[in-house]
């Protein structure tokens, strides 16, 4: 209990000193800049670098869960934390430095964070840092501090959500491989979290403090620098251990930590009554002496710390190289982060030792960053005039480079990386806004850490009456789909089309399945010459990612309009640009005229030119997402003159044809399931049976070659019939593990099966075989069951009894009953369709011409077909 009393007493006393040392310097006239807005945006940047399962739970909706398996190679959950810069490695020192510096900024300017509504955001960010550090400190002698291989990571350019490269737990601090610097720096961050958060969540804050103490002791006992491949090579660990000791002293009130600082100073060779160390860097990831000296000038009564802190600031204000535009220029790499951090230290020191020169210095550097420079340009993304448009940042770029996606990071970035401070200009104030020139355009956790503190201080001085501005496009836009195409070759027998389809879904970024493209053709010239759709074929000529194409399918057969659908197997992950080339051709006719095809409109014939077309519509999961479809004849309202109530339409309609000849070593039925009802059809309730003769009983294998449902969701089972017929002794039962079919929708899928010895089938005597000519048609010799109830087709061996009608003077006409079976149902619909397609010359009913003439114009045509369809669907 005694220690608690000491803690409270010490902290209260120190906080009173801070309040006495609050800003009292007279400030100059307000700047033209909205410091409060820059302050708010500088915090928002960290949400772009958020890593882990909850990366999509922040304000940036173009971020999502990423790298959730970090640590799996060592069997430990190391997910969370923050990506380092524009890459996705989680490095040790820059991350712990950033967390502690942000915590320090909140500690010094807490009231400003609260007044400007930024306290929740800042504390949430700091908590995410600390959650990660606690997770990484798995026991008192094991602290993981780097996840990801910098070399491998830098070879990837794309959103972190889509990265699948290996991310090993690369470095861990142990007694044998110490990391005193990362341990001390993380201890500082955790101690600050305790100080800043204890009034909100005391239990969590105590956990942070306990971890901080243990981490500090670990780093103090086992000495040595951390590693970071070649990316962050520390010069010393003493300053980080001192930094940890400073904040543990403030958090606990235990002044023995100040003794540790003295001990470390002596060990470092800069002890004694005077600091023999003139530190001309500033507070940064590898050198926190600036922060140590400044805080020790307030914690210790020894004048050497005050002298050291003031000497450092004097150098920055009076002696450091200055660009023609007024920027203090320490180093060409990330010159602005040093200027921002030095400004932060000046503003903090001004709280304790008020002097206008510190304010003037900080204002000059921050104003330069915000746009008061020879280029009259802001160096903060999303703020001010002419801000950088190409920060070197993979997530903000949103471009996924690779052989298949064919995206380029040099293209305009998909997102605005609000608040990011870029590296900055050269010594002559020149700047190149090029994503590849990362000395200029790099951003990072440590770049913004001191900048957040400086903006908090500037806001306290100059932003009392300012408010944050809007952040347009903070949320990702809708998915982007488009297609461009060109004609590669065409003549009277074929048309060859080259196309690129684009799909980009950034909310959050992810690969997609279920993309399809339709190409519509008009076959009127074929029908005029006595040909039909069965004489026109399709094929893929080239694809870079497995594109496939269906045969021509009916769209508006009464007007000879058909379409081919290009699709990709479910195993193909699509994002960005997918290239494919396909052809529509005939070998029997020489009458093909591509110019009347709906999808041919506007396509150039020059091979070097593509045209963005609306006439090749793009679909996602069967729904139109880009482009337009060709016109269909308007549906005519059906006003029947019924004699009896028609039999309700079945719950499902099956269309089918076979793509193999009469004799083949495999059977390849292609199916279309139609939902003619007004309700959603759950495909998991549906089973389809295809009947055939085995022609030599052997084991068989089933394959689904195409389905938009995804691999493994269409299954087949072979069943030997208990009561075989001459045309069927087996059936293939097809079922579905997923999928729903909305009213009037169709679902196409292609199957094959074969005997394991590859012996031939004789398909000519098979009950369900339909040569079909490459065209889907209603096929009652395939049966369909919904919840095990027969809803479509006729099972083989079924005896159909046709009653002998009682003759009358004039038979009563049942309109729509073109088959003459006494009911109006889907069989009539199929028969009329075959008649209109020219496949059959008449229909079964003796009075079919009268029964089929639903509008009474003396003809059976497409208008009657449309009326019958609407009647069966119960559409008024």
Catalytic residue set: 87, 392, 433, 442
* Residue the block writes with tokens 């204000």: 317
**Quick one: which H or E segment has residue 871?**
helix 862-872
CA distance 412 to 395: 13
d(CA 499, CA 615): 12
Token look-up 């089933």 returns: 702
**Which candidate, 208, 203, 199, places its Cα nearest to that of 100?**
208
**Residue 508: cis peptide before it, omega within 30 degrees of 0:** yes
**687: its two tokens:** 């089973």
Q: End-to-end CA distance of the chain: give it in Å, rounded.
A: 83
Structure tokens at 616: 């090749």
**Lookup: tokens for 169:** 């737990």
- Compute the distance between CA of residue 611 and CA of residue 499 in angstroms, rounded to an integer: 9
Burial of 823 (0-12, 13-18, 19+ CB in 10 A): middle
CB atoms within 10 A of CB 176: 9
Separation of alpha carbons 663 and 45, rounded Å: 67
Cβ contacts of 873 within 8 Å, gap of 6 or more = 649, 676, 677, 678, 743, 744
Residue 296: which of 348, 363, 372, 228 has the closest Cα? 348
Instruction: Write the burial class of residue 76 (CB in 10 Å: 0-12 exposed, 13-18 middle, 19+ buried).
Output: middle
> What DSSP string runs through 413-453?
PSS--TTPBP----TTS-----TT-HHHHB--HHHHHHHHH
CA dist 557 to 532, 601, 633, 794, 862, Å? 11, 20, 10, 26, 9
Asked if residues 22 and 351 have their Cβ atoms less than 8 Å apart, the reply is: yes
Residue with tokens 């010393």: 236
The two tokens of residue 303 are: 């004048």
Separation CA 676–CA 660 (nearest Å): 29
Q: From the CA atom positions of the chain, what is the Rg in Å?
A: 37
Report which of 382, 395, 362, 461 is spatially closest to residue 422, judged by C-alpha positions.
Answer: 382
Distance CA 527, CA 586 (A): 13
Please state, in angstroms and rounded to a whole number, the distance separating the CA atoms of residues 6 and 110: 24
Q: Buried (b) or exposed (e) across 478-506, using 16+ Cβ within 10 A? A: eeebbbbbbbbebeeebbbbbbbbbbbbb
Residues 41 and 420: their CA atoms lie apart, in Å, by 8
Write the CA distances from 84 to 218, 222, 395, 756, integer angstroms.
24, 26, 12, 55
Tokens of residue 612, six digits: 């963005």
Residues 6+ apart with CB under 8 A from 557: 833, 836, 837
Mark 106-144 as b/e (b = at least 16 C-beta within 10 Å): bbbbbebbeebebbebbbebbbbbbbbbbbbbbeeeebb
| H/E segment holding residue 181 | helix 180-197
């Amino acid at each position: 209990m005694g220690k608690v009393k000491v803690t409270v007493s010490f902290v209260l006393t120190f906080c009173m000193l801070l309040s006495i040392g609050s800003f009292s310097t007279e400030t100059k006239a307000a700047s033209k800049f909205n410091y409060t807005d820059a302050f708010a945006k500088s915090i928002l940047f960290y949400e772009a670098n958020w890593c882990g399962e909850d990366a999509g739970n922040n304000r940036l909706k173009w971020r999502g869960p990423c790298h959730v398996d970090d640590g799996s190679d060592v069997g430990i959950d190391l997910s969370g934390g923050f990506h380092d810069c524009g890459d996705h490695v989680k490095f040790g020192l820059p991350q712990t430095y950033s967390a502690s510096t942000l915590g320090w900024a909140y500690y010094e300017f807490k009231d400003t964070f609260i007044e400007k509504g930024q306290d929740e955001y800042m504390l949430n960010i700091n908590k995410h840092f600390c959650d990660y550090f606690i997770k990484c400190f798995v026991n008192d002698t094991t602290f993981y501090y780097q996840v990801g291989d910098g070399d491998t990571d830098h070879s990837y350019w794309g959103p972190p959500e889509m990265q699948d490269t290996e991310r090993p737990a690369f470095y861990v601090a142990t007694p044998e491989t110490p990391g005193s610097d990362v341990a001390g720096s993380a201890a500082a961050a955790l101690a600050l979290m305790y100080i800043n958060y204890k009034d909100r969540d005391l239990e969590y804050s105590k956990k942070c403090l306990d971890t901080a103490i243990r981490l500090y002791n670990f780093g103090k006992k086992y000495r040595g620098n951390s590693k970071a491949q070649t990316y962050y090579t520390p010069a010393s660990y003493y300053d980080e251990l001192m930094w940890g000791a400073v904040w543990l002293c403030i958090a606990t009130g235990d002044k023995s930590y100040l003794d540790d600082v003295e001990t470390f100073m002596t060990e470092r060779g800069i002890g004694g009554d005077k600091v023999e160390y003139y530190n001309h860097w500033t507070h940064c990831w590898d050198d926190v002496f600036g922060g140590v000296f400044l805080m020790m000038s307030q914690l210790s009564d020894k004048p050497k710390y005050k002298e050291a802190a003031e000497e450092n600031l004097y150098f920055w204000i009076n002696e450091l190289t200055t660009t023609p535009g007024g920027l203090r220029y320490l180093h060409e790499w990330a010159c602005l982060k040093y200027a921002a951090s030095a400004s932060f230290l000046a503003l903090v020191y001004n709280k304790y030792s008020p002097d206008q020169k510190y304010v003037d210095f900080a204002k000059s550097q921050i104003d330069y960053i915000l746009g008061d420079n020879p280029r009259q340009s802001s160096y903060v993304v999303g703020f001010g005039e002419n801000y950088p448009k190409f920060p070197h940042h993979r997530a903000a770029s949103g471009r996924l480079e690779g052989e298949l996606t064919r995206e380029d990071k040099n293209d305009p970035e998909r997102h605005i990386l609000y608040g990011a401070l870029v590296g900055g200009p050269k010594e002559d104030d020149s700047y190149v806004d090029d994503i590849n020139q990362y000395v200029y355009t790099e951003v990072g956790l440590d770049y913004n850490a001191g900048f957040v503190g400086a903006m908090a201080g500037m806001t306290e001085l100059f932003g009392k009456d300012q408010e944050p501005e809007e952040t347009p496009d903070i949320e990702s836009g809708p998915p982007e789909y488009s297609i461009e195409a060109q004609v590669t070759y065409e003549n009277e027998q074929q048309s060859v089309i080259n196309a690129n389809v684009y799909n980009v879904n950034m909310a959050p970024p992810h690969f997609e399945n279920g993309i399809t493209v339709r190409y519509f053709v008009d076959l009127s010239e074929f029908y005029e010459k006595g040909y039909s759709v069965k004489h026109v074929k399709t094929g893929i000529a080239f694809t870079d990612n497995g594109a496939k194409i269906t045969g021509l399918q009916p769209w508006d057969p009464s007007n000879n309009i058909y379409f081919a659908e290009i699709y990709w197997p479910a195993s193909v992950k699509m994002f960005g640009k997918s290239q494919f080339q396909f052809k529509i051709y005939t070998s029997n006719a020489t009458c093909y005229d591509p110019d009347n095809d709906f999808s041919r409109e506007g396509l150039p014939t020059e091979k070097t030119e593509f045209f963005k077309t609306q006439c090749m519509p793009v679909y996602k999961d069967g729904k139109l997402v880009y482009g337009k479809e060709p016109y269909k004849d308007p549906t005519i309202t059906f006003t029947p003159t019924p004699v009896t109530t028609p039999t309700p339409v079945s719950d499902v309609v099956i269309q089918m044809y076979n793509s193999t000849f009469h004799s083949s070593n495999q059977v390849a039925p292609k199916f279309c399931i139609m939902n003619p009802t007004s309700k959603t059809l759950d495909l998991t309730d549906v089973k389809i049976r295809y009947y055939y003769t085995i022609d030599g009983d052997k084991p068989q294998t089933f394959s689904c070659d195409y389905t938009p449902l995804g691999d493994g969701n269409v299954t087949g089972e072979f069943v030997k019939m208990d009561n075989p017929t001459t045309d069927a002794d087996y059936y293939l039962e097809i079922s579905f593990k997923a999928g729903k079919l909305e009213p009037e929708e169709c679902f196409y899928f292609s199957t094959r099966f074969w005997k394991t010895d590859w012996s031939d089938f004789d398909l000519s005597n098979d009950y369900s075989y339909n040569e079909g000519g490459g065209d889907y048609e209603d096929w009652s010799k395939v049966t369909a069951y919904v919840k095990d109830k027969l809803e479509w087709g006729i099972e083989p061996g079924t005896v159909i009894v046709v009653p002998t009608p009682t003759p009358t003077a004039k038979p009563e006409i049942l309109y729509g009953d073109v088959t003459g079976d006494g009911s109006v149902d889907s069989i009539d619909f199929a028969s009329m369709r075959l008649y209109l397609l020219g496949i059959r010359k008449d229909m079964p009913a003796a009075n079919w011409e009268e029964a089929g003439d639903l509008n009474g114009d003396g003809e059976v045509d497409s208008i009657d077909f449309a009326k019958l369809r609407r009647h069966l669907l119960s559409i008024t």
